[in-house]
Structure 1
Amino acid sequence: MRKRTLLTPLVLAALTTAGLTIAPPAASAAGPDISVTNTKAHLDQLQSIANANGGNRSTGKPGYKASVDWVKAKLDAAGYTTTVQPFSTSSGTSYNLVADLPGGDSSSVVMFGAHLDSVSVGPGINDNGSGSAGVLETALAYAASGQTPRNHVRFGFWGAEELGLLGSTYYVGQLTSGQRSAIKSYQNFDMIASPNIGYFVYDDNAAGTDVRDDFTAYYDRKGIPWEYVDVQGRSDHAAFRSNGIATGGIFSGAESTKTSAQAGKWGGTAGRPFDACYHRSCDTITNLDLTALDVNVDAIGAMVWTYAVKDYGTTPPPTAGNLLANPGLESGAVSWTGTSGPITSSTSRPAHSGAWKMWLGGNGSATTESEQQTVTIPAAAATARLSFWGRFDTSETDSTVYDTLKVQVVSSGVTTTLAAYSNVGADATWLQRSFDLSSYRGKSVSVRFVVTEDSSLQTSFVVDDTALTTT
């Protein structure tokens, strides 16, 4: 991160929402639990690359190109389409790495990024290995989740930020006006694990207030105090912002001194910098707050999952390969309607993938719960097939049917039950079920999961990774 100045404590006090009542975030802001263990492993690798290349990963030095190559290999293996973009600097050739997830509406792009270079005097593990590793792990997790994004999802890893935001500025400058207008938002992650931690949210783009408010809602949900910060265009969101693109980001503090008030709400040491090793050789793998890293990589995940399906008013629901929106439930209850509560990230029952699933039943009381989604199956489709993964467990002990899950299709007011499952023979292992819906081609259908439980022992019907695919 380039040198920046935080807002004064007086201005921060005027801007902070501390003490105000804030509405709870939408379910789409929930996101998955991004692995901090994996993120830390990426940081270990960046430290190893620096160790093997003169102690740094700076532009024009072999450690930077090695970092690009390593991140590219991880993204290629996950199925991304990657582009390495070379550009010239006073310190030699640098490179941007851009990764596009296939699918989504190319006229509606949501983008997330971090600078990958370090300063020349050290390995740059907090600045900005932390942001790069967080973006990388979130990109890998999103690709593995099986989500079908409404929007086109893109990640950027910028070169030569430490020389003056050169990489991101070059990237935006090479875009056509149409390509720039297609980018609906850019979110930046530059230092997210400072050892004397602060939780700051960018507030320097009037066009990005939705992004800003989604970040503050995330911190509110976690019960973490936060402050606005005007980073004054001193990181890689600046080129996007100057072209009218909505931007936002989070920041954990650099060379500025933590106040007593900030230490009171975040812990740490007042009168010391947020990162005493900022732009120094001691910015190594030990210069991290791993608790903060865990919180902030989950924040990145929440934003990727949210903005991948955000409706900008012009993008049709996803149809490439799966007619169902939010099929893996990782965006919470988005696109599904029915009973409040069954779509959950509770760890009491596992998800098939990711963290979220549909957990129907499990109450041990007389209840009915349902979730449904309506789609139109194209008339031109040759076939149509519904599938889902299910895991059913019960506390019932005999062969009487007490609790049931019905898988239904509702079309033109007619409800058809495709299958019924019960406590009898419930299997607490994941199994995939599949049904032919070809007879509904050209029709609007509601896919519905309905559970009825009696007043005795519980049966849990957990559904995940749904799909309605056509050929």
Structure 2
Amino acid sequence: MRNLRTTALSAIAAGAVVASALAGSTSPATAAPAPDLSVTNVTAHLQKLQDIATANGGNRATGRPGYKASLDYVKAKLDAAGYTTQVQTFSTSSGTSYNLVADWPGGDSEHVVMTGAHLDSVSAGPGINDNGTGSASVLEAALAWASSGNTPRNHLRFAWWGAEEQGLLGSNYYMRNLPTADKDRIDLYMNYDMVGSPNPGYFVYDDNAAGNGARDTMTAYYTSKGIPWEYIDVQGRSDHASFRSYGIPTTGMYSGGEDIKTSAQASKWGGTAGKAFDACYHRSCDTMSNINTTALDRNLDMIGYMVWLFADKDYGTSVPPTTPPAGSNLLGNPGFESGATVWTGTSGPITSNTGRPARTGSWKAWLGGNGSSSTENVSQQVSVPAGATAAKLSYWLRSDTAETGSTAYDTLKVQVISAGTTTTLRTFSNVGTSTTYTQYSQSLAAYAGKTVTVRFLATEDSSLQTSFVIDDTAVTTS
């Protein structure tokens, strides 16, 4: 990944997903099942890249012989598998570099799904995690597709970029020289840059551009596997930016670089808090020993899932979203860890203010607590699948008050708004508050097949404060 600290790890949304915005329709009769790709094969590709670096001055950097040898290795594998490959040559300040683009025969050429990774390392080391892991995983996905016997609905294209470490030069060169009509044919670009970090996290590119269901499909996959995830806005740090600048929907995954893993992240993902996700980032120690095989295997299968699914996505017609897996959380940013992202309502209640604790993480929705006449709410729209046999809203609540007695002066209403009608599912008040988080749930079965708004509405009178703090919300189906 390009060494440009333009953004911190941000837009966090741990462990859940807007699954109602999944990628789109596939035909159940023809869509191929997602593969279990071979991490053993990927490890063999990585070892080959390590051997190439060792034989060529310890790196695979642009302008150095190790880079061209890496490209020749990947190209030979693709050619033997039946891909049509193209090598693009371009100049950089470090010498000649190359892009490798591989097209699988067939599929609708008006609808192109691209998957890519940068192949170059920095000059300081062999770049096995950055970005041998992404390059080798994309290679294995391409080879597995070739051997699957599947016929894609869409045209599949894979790419390995040169000179990413010098500022996305390879992917920028490709897009700059691609005719406008061909740019318009690309429906999705997926980028995989560092997917096996030794102290890993699971970061999903937070690109939710119009027409892009891929981000939420990726998070739905992780959720279905019980793998917590966070959004990250990597901005211009990797090759997806070359596509996003032309309005092409993008997504991608990143397992972490030089940034430090927090205690909350270590609790969620394991590993070591206070240590970088990849302490060998852009260093000579980024070797075969700098890989977490579990993370690599998980992300490899996710990449295969995404390629297989979007190979058969129907981009030609407007269709309802696919039904999310039973048990998936249909709410986005359910623990409020990315601030007010996805949620609407009153400005201010979603906060990391330490005056009231979150149940998990640092953020929560703190409604009330003003000690004056006020009304505050947070809400989110959600689609309840028509085929759901059961649906429920769940949430954790703690509350405290300065009020006394048995009169309900301040209230929190849990509501559903559907077709202009507001229904209150439950009301809490200053009577019976508890500073211990307790989980509550209400049925949403009556709203199957409908898009509704879930709302938490707090009202205080003009005297003493009552605080209602909500965390870890969910809408699930079965």
Q: TM-score, normalised by structure 1?
A: 0.64
TM-aligned CA distance change 1:228 to 1:30, over 3 Å? farther
Matched, 1:40 2:43: yes
Matched, 1:122 2:122: no
2:197 to 194, 198, 204: 194
Q: Secondary structure at the residue paired with 1:45?
A: helix
Q: Would you say the 8 A contact 2:21–2:213 is kept in 1?
A: no
> Runs of 5+ in structure 1 lacking a partner?
316-331, 334-471
Alpha-carbon deviation of 1:313? 1.4
Matched, 1:144 2:147: yes
Which residue of 2 is the match for residue 3 of structure 1?
Answer: 3
Matched, 1:80 2:83: yes
Matched, 1:210 2:213: yes
Provide the rounded CA distance (Å) in 2 between the counterparts of 1:19 and 1:81.
39
Number of residue pairs matched? Answer: 315
> Runs of 5+ in structure 2 lacking a partner?
324-478
Provide the rounded CA distance (Å) in 1 between the counterparts of 2:99 and 2:215.
26
Which residue of 1 is the match for residue 184 of structure 2?
Answer: 181
Alpha-carbon deviation of 1:7? 6.3
Alpha-carbon deviation of 1:161? 0.3
Provide the rounded CA distance (Å) in 2 between the counterparts of 1:24 and 1:170.
32
Identity, % of aligned positions: 67
- 1:309-324 maps to which residues of 2 (within 5 A)? 309-313=312-316
- 1:284-303 maps to which residues of 2 (within 5 A)? 284-303=287-306
Provide the rounded CA distance (Å) in 2 between the counterparts of 1:313 and 1:184.
11
Alpha-carbon deviation of 1:5? 4.5
2:107 to 82, 100, 104: 104
TM-aligned CA distance change 1:288 to 1:23, over 3 Å? same
Matched, 1:63 2:36: no
CA RMSD in angstroms comes to 2.4
Aligned residue type for 2:226: G
CA deviations 1:95-137 (Å, max 9, x no partner) are 0000000001111100000000000010000000000000000
CA deviations 1:344-366 (Å, max 9, x no partner) are xxxxxxxxxxxxxxxxxxxxxxx
Q: Would you say the 8 A contact 2:22–2:214 is kept in 1?
A: no
Alpha-carbon deviation of 1:194? 0.3
Which residue of 2 is the match for residue 268 of structure 1?
Answer: 271
Provide the rounded CA distance (Å) in 2 between the counterparts of 1:233 and 1:205.
16
Aligned residue type for 1:60: G
Aligned residue type for 2:258: E
TM-aligned CA distance change 1:91 to 1:113, over 3 Å? same
Provide the rounded CA distance (Å) in 1 between the counterparts of 2:211 and 2:291.
28
Provide the rounded CA distance (Å) in 2 between the counterparts of 1:115 and 1:207.
26
Q: Would you say the 8 A contact 1:258–1:274 is kept in 2?
A: yes
TM-aligned CA distance change 1:91 to 1:171, over 3 Å? same
Q: Would you say the 8 A contact 1:56–1:63 is kept in 2?
A: yes
Aligned residue type for 2:147: A
**Does 1 or 2 have the higher relative contact order (CA < 8 Å, sep 6+)?**
2
Matched, 1:161 2:164: yes
Provide the rounded CA distance (Å) in 1 between the counterparts of 2:156 and 2:70.
22
Which residue of 2 is the match for residue 307 of structure 1?
Answer: 310
CA deviations 1:198-242 (Å, max 9, x no partner) are 000000452464110011011001100000000012100111000
Matched, 1:238 2:241: yes
TM-aligned CA distance change 1:136 to 1:88, over 3 Å? same
Provide the rounded CA distance (Å) in 2 between the counterparts of 1:23 and 1:247.
18
CA deviations 1:327-355 (Å, max 9, x no partner) are xxxxx99xxxxxxxxxxxxxxxxxxxxxx
Provide the rounded CA distance (Å) in 2 between the counterparts of 1:4 and 1:224.
28
TM-aligned CA distance change 1:274 to 1:72, over 3 Å? same
Provide the rounded CA distance (Å) in 2 between the counterparts of 1:278 and 1:195.
10
Aligned residue type for 1:74: K
Alpha-carbon deviation of 1:29? 9.7
TM-aligned CA distance change 1:22 to 1:314, over 3 Å? closer
CA deviations 1:16-73 (Å, max 9, x no partner) are 1546795697886961101000011000000000011110000000000000101000
Aligned residue type for 2:176: G
Which residue of 1 is the match for residue 13 of structure 2?
Answer: 16
Provide the rounded CA distance (Å) in 1 between the counterparts of 2:7 and 2:230.
10
Q: Secondary structure at the residue paired with 1:262?
A: helix
Aligned residue type for 2:39: V
Aligned residue type for 2:13: T
Q: TM-score, normalised by structure 2?
A: 0.63
